[in-house]
């Protein structure tokens, strides 16, 4: 029998052919050794505008514009913090592999935290064009419904669980102690997914036939993991329509308590501000010996530059009690925040008293014509004359006032037992309260917590947005708009609740705007169920409040009240939440239960006055928190 002798070149050629097949099989059955994500990149998503053929993200020649990404501040190798997770945009030039199509690959990931964060988008391949047309039609219809105040029909609820064209799959998290846990990942489609939950939207799509003026979306999606265990690796789902650009463990905010927070309610025209300093006044709930701030460039399409920032205690107006203390960002005096991202300042030794007014000042050296804002601040803040005045103790340079909170979304304090997050609408936001007096019901609740010893003195984070709804977006989630009613509670849950500093308990107090604008009780209940389930997945204690009465207000018709009553009946009998706060019973007139008690009515029959808001806060059994 003759022995065949193989030449070296032939053997190497055979190995080159067999190795990728073996590697793919190993990845498919999860048997491969975990590898860094970038070593697994097998798809090209980004192209230069002049050379669109160098990438094919979706199997039909579509790709992301490198110029658009750079314009948003998403440059190769750029670290992005989104929803508290630090992710790195791939350090690849246009036309190089920059993402992996999920097919069961094992990815090396290390860290302890509360969630995995995936920077993802889905593609439908050849189905993409047809799905895009269908979903864009749905998106336009949704925008029209929101504009005219009508809720979506049952089949198109604003649930974040199944966005149009999404790709879903399950994977596994492996821990260093040998245990594992499953997860489910839903990646919204890059052309048809909801703008309300995107991390960034780019203005164009590159194709071989030319550039389309159509928004390309990228998303950060988080999934829960076992707290306290160290992650060793992650097995990706088996769905090649899911494209993963980056993956990390979101760390828990140990050692911090949320002292103040505000939700981004919209993206509005401002100023314009050129070389101006903003001095924002915020009222703390909890205090501590250290401080850090959080700036969010949510909903933006371009980066914003912060030249410097300081913190001080307020004396009066824009005057500091003592010299403002400089903050830093990763050791630098300032930072640039990419579109859709956020920046935390470094920890600063600074004694923050509980229940105090802070001055948070930051210099904007460039020109800012639009910014993410929280509209209903009920607090006077200040804008300076040209120049960096963040370090000024005097108010002399601050010659203009603001009644919104732009960019600033959080102030954390060192130590403490954690935070209670209040997810609500205008009643939580402070509508009808006295400006600069801090008489919102969350403020009164925070005061109660500070003055007792029965339960921990939690921080209270007010995530109310005036006009907000459970199941419908008021602000569409992209572009400059005068509507500051925010994206739906479902769409903002990850950012405004799950990613909040040391969140322990959540109180959901929403729904009146839904029923006033035509939502059915079933739609509101479905939204509340989803909120409860997603909070419980993260280990949060979930409380819900009944919807207050509003008969006499124009939109609070008998039909709307019937839906409100039905939602409240479900809430009172529900086992989906860990506790119920019966705010309806606190505020209603016993002789006319569809109306607010006259002593609690601000006069518009919808919003309680300060006496009514205090009654809400006083009614809370602190042991439930």
Residues 456 and 590 in one domain: yes
pTM for the whole thing? 0.92
Residues 553 and 594 in one domain: yes
Residues 229 and 341 in one domain: no
- Measured in whole angstroms, the distance separating CA 102 from the mean position of its chain's CA atoms is 24
Residues 305 and 425 in one domain: no
Nearest to 548 by CA among 575, 576, 513: 513
Positive or negative torsion for Cα 126, 194, 54, 17: negative
Residues 324 and 204 in one domain: no
pLDDT in tens, 424-435: 999 999 999 999
Burial degree of 578 (CB within 10 A; 0-12, 13-18, 19+)? middle
Q: Which domain holds residue 303?
A: 271-284+294-407
Residues 79 and 175 in one domain: yes
Residues 476 and 439 in one domain: yes
The pLDDT of residue 108: 98
Residue 226 to residue 175: CA distance in whole angstroms: 9
Residues 315 and 192 in one domain: no
Residue 450 to residue 624: CA distance in whole angstroms: 16
Does residue 245 contact residue 120 with C-beta atoms inside 8 Å?
yes
Q: What is the mean pLDDT of the chain?
A: 91
Task: Indicate whether 16 belongs to any domain.
Answer: no
Residue 65 to residue 54: CA distance in whole angstroms: 11
Structure-token pair, residue 154: 């049952």
Residue 64 to residue 211: CA distance in whole angstroms: 10
Residue 319 to residue 315: CA distance in whole angstroms: 6
Question: Percent of the chain scored above 70 by pLDDT?
Answer: 89
Using CA atoms, how far residue 490 sits from 194, 244, 527, in Å, is 12, 23, 7
pLDDT in tens, 511-525: 999 999 999 999 999
Q: Give phi and psi for 470, each to the nearest 5.
A: -75, -45
The pLDDT of residue 160: 42
Find the range with the poorest average confidence among 127-136, 489-498, 591-600: 127-136
**More confident call, 152 vs 43:** 43
Structure-token pair, residue 239: 């769905």
C-alpha neighbours within 13 Å on the C-beta side of residue 11:
5
Q: How many domains does the chain have?
A: 3
Residues 399 and 429 in one domain: no
Task: Indicate whether 257 belongs to any domain.
Answer: no
The pLDDT of residue 162: 60
Does residue 465 contact residue 425 with C-beta atoms inside 8 Å?
yes
Question: Percent of the chain scored above 90 by pLDDT?
Answer: 88
Task: Indicate whether 371 belongs to any domain.
Answer: yes
Omega before residue 272 within 30° of 0, cis: yes
Residue with tokens 């910014």: 371
Residue 320 to residue 393: CA distance in whole angstroms: 5
Task: Indicate whether 467 belongs to any domain.
Answer: yes
- pLDDT of 154 > 50? The answer is no
- pLDDT of 152 > 70? The answer is no
Task: Indicate whether 2 belongs to any domain.
Answer: no
Does residue 583 contact residue 616 with C-beta atoms inside 8 Å?
yes
Q: Give phi and psi for 74, each to the nearest 5.
A: -95, 75
CATH code of the domain in which 606 resides: 3.40.50.1110
The residues, ordered by sequence, that sit 6+ positions from 611 with a Cβ below 8 Å of its Cβ are 599, 600
Residues 47 and 164 in one domain: yes
Q: What pLDDT band is residue 133 in, cutting at 50, 70 and 90? A: low
**More confident call, 567 vs 25:** 567
Domain limit, last residue, from 407, 442, 466: 407
Task: Indicate whether 154 belongs to any domain.
Answer: yes
Kindly state the average pLDDT of the residues 67-88. Answer: 98
């Amino acid at each position: 029998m003759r022995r065949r002798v193989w030449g070296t070149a032939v053997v190497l050629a055979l190995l080159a052919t067999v190795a990728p097949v073996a590697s793919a099989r190993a990845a498919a059955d999860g048997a491969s050794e975990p590898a860094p994500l970038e070593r697994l990149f097998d798809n090209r998503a980004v192209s230069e505008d002049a050379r669109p053929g160098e990438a094919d993200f979706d199997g039909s020649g579509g790709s992301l514009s490198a110029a658009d990404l750079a314009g948003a501040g998403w440059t190769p190798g750029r670290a992005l913090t989104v929803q508290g997770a630090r992710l790195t945009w791939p350090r690849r030039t246009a036309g190089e592999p920059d993402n992996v199509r999920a097919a069961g690959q094992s990815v090396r990931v290390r860290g302890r935290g509360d969630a995995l964060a995936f920077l993802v988008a889905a593609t439908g391949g050849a189905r993409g064009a047809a799905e895009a047309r269908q979903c864009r039609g749905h998106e336009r219809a949704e925008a029209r419904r929101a504009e005219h105040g009508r809720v979506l029909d049952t089949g198109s609820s604003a649930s974040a669980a199944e966005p149009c064209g999404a790709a879903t799959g399950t994977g596994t998290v492996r821990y260093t102690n040998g245990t594992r846990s499953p997860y489910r990942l839903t990646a919204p489609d890059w052309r048809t997914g909801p703008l309300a939950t995107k991390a960034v939207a780019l203005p164009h799509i590159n194709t071989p036939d030319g550039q389309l003026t159509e928004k390309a979306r990228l998303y950060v999606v988080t999934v829960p993991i076992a707290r306290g265990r160290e992650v060793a690796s992650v097995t990706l789902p088996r769905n090649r329509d899911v494209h993963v650009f980056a993956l990390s463990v979101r760390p828990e905010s140990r050692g911090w308590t949320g002292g103040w927070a505000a939700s981004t309610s919209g993206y509005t025209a401002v100023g314009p501000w050129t070389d101006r300093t903003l001095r924002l006044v915020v009222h703390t709930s909890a205090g501590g010996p250290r401080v850090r701030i959080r700036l969010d460039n949510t909903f933006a399409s371009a980066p914003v530059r912060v030249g410097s920032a300081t913190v001080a205690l307020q004396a009066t107006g824009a005057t500091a009690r003592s010299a403002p203390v400089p903050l830093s960002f990763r050791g630098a005096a300032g930072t640039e925040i990419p579109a859709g991202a956020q920046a935390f300042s470094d920890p600063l030794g600074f004694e923050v008293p509980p229940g105090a007014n802070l001055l948070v000042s930051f210099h904007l050296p460039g020109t800012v014509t639009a910014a993410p804002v929280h509209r209903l601040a009920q607090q006077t803040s200040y804008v300076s004359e040209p120049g960096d005045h963040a370090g000024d103790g005097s108010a002399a340079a601050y010659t203009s006032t603001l009644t919104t909170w732009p960019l600033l979304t959080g102030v954390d304090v060192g130590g403490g037992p954690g935070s209670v997050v209040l997810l609500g609408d205008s009643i939580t936001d402070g509508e009808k309260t006295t400006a600069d007096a801090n008489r919102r019901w969350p403020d009164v609740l925070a005061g109660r917590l500070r003055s007792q010893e029965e339960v921990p003195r939690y921080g209270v984070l007010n995530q109310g947005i005036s006009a907000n709804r459970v199941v419908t977006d008021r602000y569409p989630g992209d572009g400059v708009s005068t509507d500051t009613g925010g994206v739906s509670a479902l769409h903002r849950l990850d950012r405004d609740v799950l990613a909040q500093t040391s969140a322990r308990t959540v109180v959901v107090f929403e729904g009146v705007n839904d029923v006033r604008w035509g939502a059915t009780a079933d739609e509101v209940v479905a939204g509340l169920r989803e909120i409860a389930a997603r909070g419980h997945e993260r280990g949060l204690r979930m409380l819900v409040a009944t919807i207050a009465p509003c008969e006499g207000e124009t939109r609070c018709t008998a039909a709307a009240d019937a839906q409100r009553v039905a939602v409240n009946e479900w809430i009172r009998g529900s086992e989906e939440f860990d506790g119920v706060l019966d705010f309806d019973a606190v505020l209603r007139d016993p002789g006319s239960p569809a109306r607010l008690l006259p002593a609690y009515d601000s006069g518009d029959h919808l919003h309680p006055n300060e006496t009514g808001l205090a009654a809400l806060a006083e009614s809370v059994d602190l042991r439930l928190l």
